[in-house]
Structure 1
Amino acid sequence: MNAIHIQELQQCLPQTLDQVCDDHEPMIITRAGKQAVLISHEDYSALQETLYLLSSPVMAQRLRESLASFQQGQGVERDLIAADE
C-alpha cells in the first residue's frame, strides 16, 4: 500500500484520486504521526457490503459453503439476463 504525506497530497490531489479509483489500491495519508486511508467509493461500498453479509453467521456460513463448492469445480456457468426496466 502506498503512502503520501498530507502536504504532498495537497499538491497532487486530482492525480492521487484518479490513481486510487483506477487502480483500486488504497493510499495511506500521513500527518503529524497519524494515518488515514483513502479508498475509492466503489471499494468502500464493496467493503461495506461484505461486512454486512458476514455480520450474519448464517449468511457467512452460506457464503463459505458456496465458495468451497465453486472451488471444487461444482459451479455452474450461466448467461447474464438483462433486468426489465
Structure 2
Amino acid sequence: MAVELGDAQRRLGELIERVNRDHTEIEIVSGSASAVLMSKAEYDALVETSYLLSSPANARRLMSALQSVRETATRRNDPSRAP
C-alpha cells in the first residue's frame, strides 16, 4: 500500500494502528522520495535477521539448521513411514 505524504500526515494514527494490526508495511510517497512505515516489532525482526545473516558462516549454520527442521517435519508427515 502506498500513501501520499499529506494523506499519511492526516491519518498517521490510523496508519500506525494498521501496520501493527496487519503486520504489513505502508510506503509513504513524497514526490520522487519515499519511506516505509512498519511496526516496531517488524523493524526489530528485520534488524535481527539482517544481523544474524550478516556473517556468512552464521548464515550457513542457520540455513543448515532450518533445512534439518524441514526434513524432520517432512519425515513426520510422510504417510509411507507409518508403522
Q: Count the aligned residue pairs.
A: 73
Question: Can you give the 5+ residue segments of structure 2 that lack an aligned partner in the other structure?
Answer: 74-83
Question: Can you give the 5+ residue segments of structure 1 that lack an aligned partner in the other structure?
Answer: 75-85
The two structures, once aligned, show a CA RMSD in angstroms of 1.0
Aligned pairs (5 A) from 1:1-85 = 2-73=1-72
Structure 1 residue 37: Cα displacement: 0.7
| Deviations 1:20-77, CA, capped at 9 Å, x for gaps | 1111101000011211111111111101100111011111011000110111126xxx
Match of 2:81 in 1: none
Q: TM-score, normalised by structure 2?
A: 0.82
What CA distance in whole angstroms lies between the structure 2 residues aligned with 1:52 and 1:58? 12
Q: TM-score, normalised by structure 1?
A: 0.81
Aligned AA (1:45): D
Aligned AA (1:39): M
Instruction: Give the ranges of 4+ consecutive aligned residues of structure 1 lying more than 6 Å apart after TM superposition.
Output: none
**As a proportion of its length, which structure holds more helix?**
2
What CA distance in whole angstroms lies between the structure 1 residues aligned with 2:26 and 2:11? 13
